[in-house]
A = this chain, B = another copy of it.
Amino acid sequence: MAWRQQAVCRRSACGRRDHERATVDQAMPNVTRNTRQRSEVLALLREVEGFHTAQQLHQMLLARNARVGLTTVYRTLQLLVDAGDIDSTRLPGGEQLYRRCGQSKHHHHLVCRDCGRTVEVAGPAVERWADQVAAQHGFTDVGHTLEIFGTCAQCSR
């Protein structure tokens, strides 16, 4: 069984450019062409809060009458992850989550199991600890995932 080569929780460069110019013809970084579909995805990512799956984002696009194929959503998100422009993480359920960088700093997430509400939490100490532990064991090219799950106040009542 192949262990997939995959960068995990890359420390996002997140060159967040002028987020004010939320026009459709905003350029997509590191990509040759700017199409309507990509602009739609970018526009959506700029508006939504927290993490969403590719499927969720696709549904939202359809709901706002933005005709974009699911395949394109996946492909665009992958491009953005590769470019370091969005964060991606994975739910214990196995679903991949994507999110626009809201902060230039690296951070982790506190996610409600029921409603998906996400709180961003910074854990600089954890970062250092993780890198240090990995280095101690001779590991290089280190990344990590840290997600905290629970039931938020709203959902638990």
Q: Show the binding face of A for B, using Cβ within 8 Å.
A: 1, 3-6, 8-9, 53, 55-56, 59, 90-96, 110, 112-116, 119, 121, 123, 125-126, 129-130, 133-134, 137-153, 156
Contact = CB atoms under 8 A, between A and B. Distances in A.
Nearest to A137: B119
7 contacts: A3-B93, A110-B134, A119-B137, A137-B153, A139-B151, A140-B153, A141-B156
Number of copies: 2
Contacts of A143: 148-150
B147 A3 contact: no
Q: 4 shortest A-B CB distances, which residue pairs? A: A139-B150, A138-B153, A4-B93, A142-B150
Given A1-B56, A129-B126, A147 B145 contact: yes
Given A9-B92, A119-B137, A141-B156, 20 more contacts: A1-B59, A1-B95, A3-B112, A3-B114, A5-B113, A5-B114, A6-B92, A94-B95, A110-B134, A125-B129, A126-B129, A134-B148, A137-B153, A138-B153, A140-B151, A140-B156, A142-B148, A143-B149, A143-B150, A145-B149
Contact of A153 (B1, B139, B156): B139
